[in-house]
A and B are shown apart, each in its own frame.
Chain A
Amino acid sequence: NAGVTQTPKFRVLKTGQSMTLLCAQDMNHEYMYWYRQDPGMGLRLIHYSVGEGTTAKGEVPDGYNVSRLKKQNFLLGLESAAPSQTSVYFCASANRGNTEAFFGQGTRLTVV
């Protein structure tokens, strides 16, 4: 029972490079989220999705794009990475009632 799986776990990017973070969940959850976590800032919502084919902006969406072509997958893209995007990224999923969110193990991204 995998739950929420994120790939990759670690990545170092050069400024201006692009990459995609993959989140996969096997719990048939409707809602999926991408957060970033920075020291002293807490978890901040980047983008979210309430169902297959739908996405919406969260608190800090600039510089990121997302897609949810399949219910189980939620992709986070960085088109042109910047040092300010150095962070730990967490994906989460929840059922429609959203009474408990399940988190992936995180992706530690460094942009140099």
Chain B
Amino acid sequence: GQNIDQPTEMTATEGAIVQINCTYQTSGFNGLFWYQQHAGEAPTFLSYNVLDGLEEKGRFSSFLSRSKGYSYLLLKELQMKDSASYLCAVRGSGGYQKVTFGTGTKLQVIP
């Protein structure tokens, strides 16, 4: 099975940097996703990591350490529109490679 942990809520200031952590314990691992979900809307894809290291995509970066079962999402130059929930999800092994979602981290960006 999969167990995914992330903080429930975080607050950060506009223009600052915030790091959202995700730890997981899985019976198999084939990659980790980050999704963004604004209130009342559908999740949208941010990143996918399958190898260790940092992947940068504009203001957002995602890091993975498979040996530690750990990932983080780094948001730079925070904007008010970044206020949303950030979902960590793990892709397991097996024929269908099921994706299991964490409960999400609600980020509030304040002026």
Inter-chain contact B104/A98, CB cutoff 8 Å = no
Count of CB-CB pairs between chains A and B under 8 Å: 45
By a CB distance below 8 angstroms, the chain B residues around A64 are none
By a CB distance below 8 angstroms, the chain A residues around B96 are 31, 48, 50, 56
A interface list, Cβ under 8 A from B: 31, 35, 40-45, 48, 50, 56, 58-59, 90, 98-106
B interface list, Cβ under 8 A from A: 31, 33, 41-45, 48, 87, 89, 91, 96-104
Inter-chain contact A45/B48, CB cutoff 8 Å = no
Of B44, B45, B104, the residue contacting A42 (CB under 8 A) is B104
Inter-chain contact A103/B42, CB cutoff 8 Å = yes
Of A43, A99, A105, the residue contacting B101 (CB under 8 A) is A43
In the bound assembly, the distance between CA atoms of A42 and B106 in angstroms comes to 12
CB within 8 Å for A90 and B101 given contacts A42-B87, A43-B87, A99-B48 = no
